[in-house]
Amino acid sequence: MVELGQCWAFATIASIESIHHIAHNSILENKFNTQYLIDCYDAYESKDAVYGHVRRALRYILNHNQGYLYSEHDYPPRFKDRRGVCASAGLNPCTRIHGLGRVRANESQLLEVVKKRPVAASTASPGIALYPLDARTIIRWADVGSDGEPDHFVLIIGYGTEGGVDYWLCQNFWGPSYREDGYFRVEKNVCDPRGTAGVARKCFFPVIEGYGASDSK
């Protein structure tokens, strides 16, 4: 389970790892370093990481680190008295992103993007926490709606249908005991274009040169 307020960093890194794997058809030997993003973005923004946002994090990587990322193996561990201190100087990057795409309040467009890659999505956490946290059922729009202030980020990794109900399959970062082994499903193709619990309201994804650049907006 991630620390409070760091879901944006985990969603950002998970989206980059996913597109790296898809674009290069390779398994990562070392995961990309979430701590680097928390430290360096936090130092750049001069505020606590609880204010982080996937779009701003991707732009930080693109604009202030030329799109490069580091692995967990290479980036030094964080010490408690070094919070917000960026220690990336002199490290060798292990991947690079080249752009940023987004989809706003349009489940049809979102589907076309998710067919090609996972997407980081903002959501209202009360909506996905309303059900019992160990429930293995689809979160229905009729129960949670689309309202609520977006205060959490998840990763939309797929879609499907069960019992006649279309759904988005999402990865959360609240640990494996949450709902379906750390994943959850929300109803798809609902009356509100923002989606169930607002998961389709604002979605972001990194672009790697040569793969999916036409999806970026």
Residue 21 among the catalytic residues: no
- Enter the tokens of residue 35: 């701590």
Per the DSSP assignment, residues forming a β-bridge with 34 are none
Per the DSSP assignment, residues forming a β-bridge with 192 are none
C-beta pairs of 208-211 under 8 Å, 24+ apart in sequence? 208/19, 208/20, 208/23, 208/96, 208/97, 208/98, 209/96, 209/98, 209/99, 210/23, 211/19, 211/22, 211/23
Catalytic annotation, pick one of 20, 94, 172, 203:
172
Chain-centroid distance, C-alpha 24: 20
Residue 152 among the catalytic residues: yes
* Alpha carbon separation from 34 to 1, 2, 17, 72, 75 (Å, rounded): 13, 11, 11, 8, 10
- Enter the tokens of residue 116: 């090609």
- Enter the tokens of residue 120: 């980081």
DSSP state of 47: S
Residue 7 among the catalytic residues: yes
Catalytic annotation, pick one of 33, 53, 94, 152:
152
- Enter the tokens of residue 36: 């680097």
Catalytic annotation, pick one of 7, 40, 94, 170:
7
Neighbours of 54 (CB within 10 A): 28
Give the residue numbers marked as catalytic.
Answer: 7, 152, 172
